[in-house]
């Protein structure tokens, strides 16, 4: 028999070391592990390469530690990234906003630069969990985790962000849209660390909205949609739509976006967009609702996000 | 008298007695993190135990191999049913007259059932040990749906009961049947239905949920081999009963058992019963000679220790065309899980469910309850309600709305038409209770006037029209609930637990300086007893509440009592407190008469002392009497000022209330908003209005959670799918609606201070108000009854089935 995930969430597919017997275990006490606190990215990369499969980077710990308590993750080594200077911070680099991986969700909310240039990041960060989680949880951990329930990945895809990954073989840039391969499966190679995220700043006056349906504060989305668009007169000129927690990876809803480009978001085009978005969703049935419901509200989130984004263009 | 002499008002206020919004004295330590909970108890050499639990809902246990576990550093012992058999403790009796496995004995009967207990030097090692215990199972078909439990081919769950055709509550009809309980006049009721102009019938389910206190169940057991004494620190709502039960099952002399319930972080019924963790920790302490701590984690609490509700109530009402009820017929299918571990008074297999006639004057009624076994966790505790009263209140309040809908009558009007009238009290209900007092019409009308009920109905009609025109996707519901509770178990004539009458007790000792200590058989879990008990004494004997130290929970020092649950503390212990205080006062009067050199009858009580009638300056304060009690008592009188009362209540008390919930639901997403919630409670005499308000806020929040999503759900293969607060709906301050509270006061005529108890009313009355609001919102689309819980997706599903969404 498959044990239900006690947290009511699917067992992460790539949690490398499952409990010894890979069977039922009911616990909220983590197994033993050793703790490392490197002072540089190079040291961290070296540690992760040397320690191999059993080592995991530790950022805010708000995704990893709950899994360790349930022993769904049993890393033998934690490589804490908090000791590395330079992984934290938000700066403007030309037309990009560069966010260090260890920047917390609270830091995003507190940043005037984010509020000014990419306000949707602000809006979405405020919908993540609660203040305690946001004080610890990092943007790097949020996007690197590969959890389809996390809000930042779909948003990063919508914004066309790229991730900087540093590993034993040097540094490389991967587009957010290329990063997610499956639930908890990402483009991260063994020994690699995500060090920063580069977000192209959307054009001034753009419209944006992140619509997230959740059951309560602290819950992951039943379905959520991110929209960034620009208008030419009363018609949609450009539009990108991202979807959270309706598939094993975050999604870009290109057909849905195409369905509204050139329209004035009349009832028919909104309906077409929702239908196109629903067509690519394949959520799991869980306590948030059956598949049919999660898709249906996913479509509604798209509709509402489009309407609100159009309304707040300047 | 000079200007400095306090006025009567000032003297009364200085006492902070009954009616005063006294600040909770316990909060001084709680808000500073200085409470002392079980997990704060750390004894020298203490070990930690934790359970290996079953992944299967139903399986044979073929083999338990602990050899690898015992090699884990720090693991000292693995206790199994075989170990327990050596001390005759593999099974334990339940409060409901059944027996329950402490550890899996040959079979497991629910997912997460306790299979082995690993004892180690710390909690981490214990969990590492659990990981290494290898259990070989042979899965058996699980029985999850209670409606299939009595099918001819239903799997046999309880092999230990083979051949037993009767149980603790009479004959058993089937191998998965526990009891049938019937009340009322069947013939008369059937006749009423035959004659009825209008009838309704609906299967109304109250889903399985869980009390989920913030602090989970836990204990520390310490056995002293030299003295032969067992000390148990535990999260016990009924510490004295726990001691007696331990004495009976462990065959230890009762005086050698010390049960201490320190501060408790919420109970709500979850901490009434005895759990395998307690037994295993005690046995582990005996085996190892060291103190052993057992602390449940959240998953264990939600999935293994007592659930609540799981009642499936087929309900019929007979009525006249103009809406006068003439008969009530209810059949309940009660899902008790794998063992009948309900915490009800022993003679009441379905608690006080026969309060199901509610606030209405039913000339006749009949009730039958069938209890059945399924492969689910045992329990069936009163989650912030008197035994099964919440289920009963939900059943009748939902059914009255269904009847109103059928008659095309306003639900409030139908209730007003059928209420028991104030002049009918004491009222004898068709199902056997004697309601002590009530004034339902006044309470209902006050609710309707304060909330602007008529205007809200008008607004609803307009919104419905707008919905029909396609102008809005929101529907509006008004949830009316008028509940009558039955609390204060209970009179010895009908209430006992394992043969112990359900009295309660108080002991007061006044010291020479006019300060005193009072101890009770109850146990606060957050209700604020340290505050309110002192207020009763303050008013009764004229000593400031601040000078009365209240102590509960230590069986060595507190008088024997049956504990705190079922809103019984104020009706029963509250009465004992007043009676003990009156004994103090009576002796004080004798001392005062002696000192003032008058006859006792020449004295009158005046706020905080005795005064000679007609001679206002001849006065002796209670404070001075306390001093005199220790040096100059009348000849022949014993010194000291101390009293004990064991109070056996003559009747239950019957708090009631009128609630209204105003809700808007977006049919496209099922998302609801509670726009308004008004709660009028009548709990008789009000001891501390601020604590009452706090209790009402807490209970309403639980009611909101239960009605709108909080459930323990099993999938069809027997997996619990709601094992954490991610999925078991625990509202935060953000989701919790704003509460408007109000009251009327109808004292209990038989209670010494007229108090009825309030802790559970909001949960009892709140659930139907929320559910009726949802049902009322959808009713114009053609539905009669939508089952709880009303979470978003189910609201959407209802809208879809009613054709409101494509
Ligand atoms: C109650 C609760 C509710 C929550 N609700 C939401 C929600 O609604 N939406 C949401 O988006 N999130 C939610 N979260 C998750 C939260 O935002 C986490 O903080 C976040 O997902 C992970 O960030 P972290 O810094 O805590 O990462 P960690 O937990 O430390 O790490 C997560 C994973 O990423 C890896 N990792 C971390 N940093 C890096 C890096 N720089 N490079 C490579 N790998 C890395 C770790 O090894 C680990 O596998 C919730 C968390 C909790 C506890």
Average pLDDT over residues A196-203: 98
Contact status, residue B208 vs residue B376, Cβ threshold 8 Å? yes
Average pLDDT over residues B250-270: 95
State how far residue B86 is from chain A, nearest Cα, in angstroms.
Answer: 27
pLDDT reading at A10 higher than 80? no
Residues of B in contact with A23 (CB under 8 A): 55
- Percent helix, strand and coil across chain B, each to the nearest 5: 30, 25, 45
Residues B460, B322 within the same domain: yes
Residues B115, B22 within the same domain: no
Contact B124 A6 (CB under 8 A): no
Three-state secondary structure readout of B598-654: CCHHHEEECCCEEEECCEEEEEEEHHHHHHHHCCCCCCCCCCCEEEEEEECCCCCEC
Q: How far is the CA of A141 from the centre of ligand 1 (A)?
A: 4
Residues A180, A90 within the same domain: yes
Q: What is the pLDDT of residue B346?
A: 86
Q: Between B239-250 and B276-288, two packed helices, what is the crossing angle to 10 degrees? A: 60
Residue A54: give the domain boundaries.
13-83
Residues B27, B42 within the same domain: no
What positions of B carry a catalytic annotation? 237, 384-385, 760
Q: Looking at the partner chain, which of A8, A23, A290 has a beta carbon nearest the beta carbon of B55?
A: A23
State how far residue B66 is from chain A, nearest Cα, in angstroms.
Answer: 14
Which pair of tokens denotes residue A19?
Answer: 């409990």
Q: What is the pLDDT of residue B2?
A: 57
Give the domain CATH number at B722: 3.30.365.10
Of A33, A55, A83, the residue at which a domain comes to its end is: A83
Give chain A's mean pLDDT.
92
Mutation test of ligand 1: which of A38, A48, A141, A216 has the most ligand atoms closer than 8 Å to its C-beta?
A141
CA A188 to ligand 1: nearest atom: 43
Quick one: which H or E segment has residue A122? Answer: helix A119-125
A contact set with B (CB within 8 A): 1-4, 6-9, 19-21, 23-32, 71, 130, 213, 215-220, 222, 286-290, 293, 296-297, 300
Q: What is the pLDDT of residue B49?
A: 98
pLDDT above 70: percentage of residues in chain B: 100
pLDDT reading at A1 higher than 50? no
Residues B463, B590 within the same domain: no
Record the pTM: 0.96
Calpha distance B238→B569 (Å, rounded): 11
Q: Which residue of A has its CA nearest to B114?
A: A26
Q: What is the pLDDT of residue B667?
A: 98
| Touching A: B residues 637-676, CB under 8 Å | 668-671
Does A4 fall in a domain? no
Q: Looking at the partner chain, which of B298, B722, B735 has a beta carbon nearest the beta carbon of A216?
A: B735
* Per-residue model confidence as pLDDT tens digits over B314-331: 999 999 999 999 999 999
Residues A74, A91 within the same domain: no
Residues B278, B403 within the same domain: no
Q: Residues lining ligand 1, judged by CB closer than 6 Å?
A: A 56-64, 66, 81, 101, 128-129, 133, 136-138, 140-142, 144-145, 150-152, 188, 193-194, 218, 220
Q: How far is the CA of A254 from the centre of ligand 1 (A)?
A: 27
* Per-residue model confidence as pLDDT tens digits over B407-429: 999 999 999 999 999 999 999 99
Does B151 fall in a domain? no
Average pLDDT over residues A32-58: 96
Q: How far is the CA of A58 from the centre of ligand 1 (A)?
A: 9
Average pLDDT over residues B72-98: 96
What is the count of residue pairs from A and B with beta carbons less than 8 Å apart?
A: 112
Contact status, residue B793 vs residue B727, Cβ threshold 8 Å? no
State how far residue A216 is from chain B, nearest Cα, in angstroms.
Answer: 7
Q: What is the pLDDT of residue A275?
A: 98
Residues A29, A67 within the same domain: yes
CA A218 to ligand 1: nearest atom: 3
Which pair of tokens denotes residue B346?
Answer: 């022993």
Put simply, whether B147 touches A (Cβ < 8 Å) is no
What is the count of structural domains for chain B? 3
Q: Which residue of B has its CA nearest to A129?
A: B726
Residues A224, A257 within the same domain: yes
Does A131 fall in a domain? yes
Does A126 fall in a domain? yes
Calpha distance B100→B238 (Å, rounded): 19
> Whose Cα sits closest to atom 27 in ligand 1?
A141
Contact A215 B124 (CB under 8 A): no
Q: How far is the CA of A145 from the centre of ligand 1 (A)?
A: 6
Q: How far is the CA of A304 from the centre of ligand 1 (A)?
A: 27
Which pair of tokens denotes residue B141?
Answer: 């078909």
Q: What is the pLDDT of residue A22?
A: 41
Sequence-separated (6 or more) residues with CB below 8 Å from residue A247: A148, A280, A281, A282, A283
Q: Looking at the partner chain, which of B132, B298, B732 has a beta carbon nearest the beta carbon of A217?
A: B732
pLDDT reading at A16 higher than 80? no
Contact B729 A215 (CB under 8 A): yes
Three-state secondary structure readout of B410-460: CHHHHHHHHECCHHHCCEECCCCCEECCCCHHHHHHHHHHHHCHHHHHHHH
Does B13 fall in a domain? yes
Residues B421, B338 within the same domain: yes
**φ, ψ for residue B802, nearest 5 deg:** -90, 5
Put simply, whether B53 touches A (Cβ < 8 Å) is yes
State how far residue A215 is from chain B, nearest Cα, in angstroms.
Answer: 8
- Per-residue pLDDT band for A26 (boundaries 50, 70, 90) equals low
pLDDT reading at B22 higher than 80? yes
pLDDT above 90: percentage of residues in chain B: 96
Does A206 fall in a domain? no
Does A5 fall in a domain? no
Calpha distance B174→B154 (Å, rounded): 10
Which pair of tokens denotes residue B612?
Answer: 């000679």
| Touching A: B residues 295-324, CB under 8 Å | 297-300, 303
* Per-residue model confidence as pLDDT tens digits over B553-572: 999 999 999 999 988 999 99
What is the count of structural domains for chain A? 3
Give chain B's mean pLDDT.
96
Average pLDDT over residues B584-611: 98
* Per-residue model confidence as pLDDT tens digits over B737-767: 999 999 999 999 999 999 999 999 999 999 9
Q: What is the pLDDT of residue A313?
A: 95
Which pair of tokens denotes residue B458?
Answer: 């008008």
Does B155 fall in a domain? no
* Per-residue model confidence as pLDDT tens digits over B516-528: 999 999 999 999 9
Bridge-based pairing of strands B672-682 and B641-647 is: unpaired
User: Of A25-34, A259-268, B276-285, B296-305, which range is least confident?
Assistant: A25-34
CA A193 to ligand 1: nearest atom: 42
Contact A293 B793 (CB under 8 A): yes
Does B372 fall in a domain? yes
Residue B65: give the domain boundaries.
38-140+216-264+271-304
Residues B241, B318 within the same domain: no
Residues B127, B233 within the same domain: yes
- Per-residue pLDDT band for B343 (boundaries 50, 70, 90) equals confident
* Per-residue model confidence as pLDDT tens digits over A202-216: 999 999 999 999 999
Residues B371, B256 within the same domain: no
Contact B726 A26 (CB under 8 A): no
- Per-residue pLDDT band for B498 (boundaries 50, 70, 90) equals confident
Burial degree of B675 (CB within 10 A; 0-12, 13-18, 19+): middle
pLDDT reading at B48 higher than 70? yes
Q: What is the pLDDT of residue A8?
A: 35
Give the domain CATH number at A94: 3.30.465.10
Residues B22, B42 within the same domain: no
pLDDT reading at A93 higher than 80? yes
pLDDT reading at A17 higher than 90? no
Residues B317, B293 within the same domain: no
DSSP annotation string for B167-203: ETTEE-SSTTEEEEEEEE-HHHHHHHHHH-SEEEEEE
Residues B550, B470 within the same domain: no
Q: Looking at the partner chain, which of B300, B303, B734 has a beta carbon nearest the beta carbon of A217?
A: B734
Q: What is the pLDDT of residue A9?
A: 36
Contact A1 B797 (CB under 8 A): no
Give the domain CATH number at B44: 3.90.1170.50
* Per-residue model confidence as pLDDT tens digits over B332-341: 999 999 999 9
Does A250 fall in a domain? yes
Of A83, A116, A132, the residue at which a domain comes to its end is: A83
Residues A103, A76 within the same domain: no
State how far residue A6 is from chain B, nearest Cα, in angstroms.
Answer: 5
Calpha distance B776→B354 (Å, rounded): 26
Contact status, residue B620 vs residue B642, Cβ threshold 8 Å? no
């Amino acid at each position: 028999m498959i044990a239900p995930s006690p947290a009511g969430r699917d067992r992460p597919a790539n949690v490398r070391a499952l409990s010894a017997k890979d069977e039922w275990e009911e616990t909220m006490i983590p197994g033993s592990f050793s703790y490392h606190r490197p002072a540089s990215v190079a040291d961290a990369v070296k540690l992760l390469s040397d320690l191999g499969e059993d080592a995991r980077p530790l950022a805010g710990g708000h995704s990893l530690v709950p899994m360790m308590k349930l022993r769904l993750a049993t890393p033998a080594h934690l490589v804490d990234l908090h000791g590395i200077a330079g992984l934290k911070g938000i700066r403007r680099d030309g037309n990009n906003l560069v966010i260090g991986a260890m920047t917390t969700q609270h830091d995003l909310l507190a940043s005037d630069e984010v509020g000014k240039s990419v306000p949707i990041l602000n809006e979405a960060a405020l919908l993540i969990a609660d203040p305690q989680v946001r004080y610890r949880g990092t943007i790097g951990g949020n996007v690197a985790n590969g959890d389809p329930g996390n809000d930042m990945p779909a948003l990063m895809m919508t914004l066309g962000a790229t991730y900087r990954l540093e590993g034993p073989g040097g540094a490389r840039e991967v587009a957010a849209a290329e990063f997610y391969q499956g639930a908890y499966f990402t483009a991260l190679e063994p020994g690699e660390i995500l060090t920063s995220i580069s977000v192209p700043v959307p054009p001034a006056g753009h419209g944006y909205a992140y619509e997230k349906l959740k059951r309560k504060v602290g819950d992951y989305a039943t379905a959520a949609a991110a929209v960034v668009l620009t208008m030419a007169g009363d018609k949609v000129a450009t539009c990108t739509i991202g979807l959270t927690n309706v598939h094993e990876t975050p999604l870009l809803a290109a057909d849905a976006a195409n369905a509204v480009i050139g329209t004035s978001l009349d009832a028919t085009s909104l309906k077409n967009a929702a239908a196109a978005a629903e067509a690519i969703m394949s959520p799991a049935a869980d306590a948030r609702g059956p598949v049919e419901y999660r898709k249906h509200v996913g479509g509604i989130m798209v509709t509402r996000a489009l309407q609100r984004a159009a309304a707040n263009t300047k | 008298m000079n200007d400095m002499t306090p006025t009567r008002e000032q003297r009364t206020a200085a006492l902070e007695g009954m009616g005063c919004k006294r600040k909770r004295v316990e909060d001084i330590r709680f808000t500073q993190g200085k409470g002392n909970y079980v997990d704060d108890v750390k004894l020298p050499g203490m070990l930690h135990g934790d359970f290996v639990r079953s992944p299967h809902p139903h399986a044979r246990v073929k083999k338990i191999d602990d050899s690898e576990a015992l090699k884990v550093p720090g693991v000292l012992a693995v206790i199994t049913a075989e170990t327990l058999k050596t001390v005759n403790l593999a099974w334990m009796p339940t409060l409901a007259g059944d027996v329950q496995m402490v550890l899996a004995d040959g079979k497991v009967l629910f997912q997460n059932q306790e299979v082995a207990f690993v004892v180690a030097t710390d909690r981490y090692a214990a969990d590492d040990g659990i990981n290494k215990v290898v259990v070989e199972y042979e899965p058996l078909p699980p029985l999850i749906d209670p409606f299939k439990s009595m099918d001819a081919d239903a799997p046999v769950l309880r092999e230990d009961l083979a051949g037993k055709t009767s149980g603790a509550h009479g004959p058993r009809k089937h191998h998965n049947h526990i009891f049938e309980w019937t009340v009322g006049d069947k013939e008369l009721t059937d006749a009423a239905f035959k004659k009825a102009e209008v009838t309704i019938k609906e299967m109304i389910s109250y889903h399985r949920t869980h009390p989920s206190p913030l602090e989970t169940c836990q204990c520390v057991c310490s056995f002293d081999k030299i003295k032969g004494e067992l000390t148990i620190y535990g999260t016990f709502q009924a510490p004295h009963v726990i001691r007696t039960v331990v004495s009976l099952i462990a065959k230890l002399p009762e005086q050698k058992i010390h049960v201490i319930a320190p501060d408790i972080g919420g109970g709500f019924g979850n901490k009434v019963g005895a759990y395998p963790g307690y037994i295993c920790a005690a046995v582990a302490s005996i085996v190892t000679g060291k103190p052993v701590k057992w602390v449940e984690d959240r998953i264990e609490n939600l999935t293994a220790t007592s659930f609540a509700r799981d009642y499936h109530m087929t309900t019929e009402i007979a009525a006249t065309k103009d809406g006068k009820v003439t008969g009530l017929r209810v059949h309940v299918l009660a899902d008790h899980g794998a063992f009948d571990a309900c915490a009800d008074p022993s003679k009441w297999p379905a608690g006080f469910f026969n309060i199901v006639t509610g606030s209405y004057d039913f000339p006749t009624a009949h009730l039958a309850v069938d209890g059945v076994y399924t492969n689910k966790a045992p329990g069936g505790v009163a989650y912030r309600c008197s035994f099964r009263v919440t289920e009963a209140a939900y059943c009748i309040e939902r059914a009255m709305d269904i009847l109103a809908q059928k008659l095309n009558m306003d639900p409030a009007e139908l209730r007003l038409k059928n209420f028991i009238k104030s002049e009918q009290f004491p009222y004898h209900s068709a199902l056997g209770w004697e309601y002590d007092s009530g004034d339902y019409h006044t309470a209902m009308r006050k609710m309707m006037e304060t909330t602007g009920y008529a205007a809200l109905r008008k607004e609803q009609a307009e919104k419905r029209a707008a919905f029909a025109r396609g102008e809005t996707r929101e529907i509006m519901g008004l949830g009316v609930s008028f509940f009558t509770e039955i609390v204060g178990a209970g009179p010895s004539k009908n209430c006992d637990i394992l043969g112990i009458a359900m009295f309660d007790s108080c002991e007061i000792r006044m010291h020479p300086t006019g300060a005193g200590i009072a101890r009770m058989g109850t146990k606060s879990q957050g209700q604020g007893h340290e505050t309110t008990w002192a207020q009763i004494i303050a008013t009764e004997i004229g000593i400031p509440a601040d000078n009365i130290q209240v102590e509960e929970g230590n069986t060595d020092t507190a008088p024997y009592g049956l504990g705190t649950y079922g809103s019984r503390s104020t009706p029963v212990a509250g009465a004992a407190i007043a009676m003990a205080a009156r004994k103090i006062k009576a002796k004080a009067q004798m001392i005062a008469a002696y000192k003032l050199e008058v006859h006792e009858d020449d004295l009158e009580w005046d706020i905080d002392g005795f005064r000679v009638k007609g001679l206002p300056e001849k006065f002796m304060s209670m404070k001075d009497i306390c001093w005199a009690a220790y040096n100059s008592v009348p000849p022949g009188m014993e010194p000291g000022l101390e009293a004990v009362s064991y109070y056996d209540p003559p009747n239950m008390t019957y708090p009631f209330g009128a609630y209204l919930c105003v809700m808007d639901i977006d049919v496209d997403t099922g998302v609801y908003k509670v726009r308004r919630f008004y709660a009028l409670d009548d709990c008789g005499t009000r001891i501390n209005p601020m604590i009452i308000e706090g209790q009402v806020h807490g209970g309403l929040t639980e009611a909101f959670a239960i009605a709108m999503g909080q459930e323990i759900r099993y999938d069809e293969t027997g997996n619990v799918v709601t094992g954490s607060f991610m999925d078991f709906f625990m509202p935060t301050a953000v989701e919790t609606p704003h509460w408007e509270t109000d009251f009327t006061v109808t004292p209990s005529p038989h209670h010494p201070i007229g108090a009825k108890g309030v802790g559970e009313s909001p949960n009892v009355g709140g659930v139907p108000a929320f559910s009726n609001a949802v049902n009322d919102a959808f009713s114009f689309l053609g539905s009669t009854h939508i089952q709880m819980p009303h979470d978003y997706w189910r609201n959407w599903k209802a809208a879809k089935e009613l054709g409101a969404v494509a």
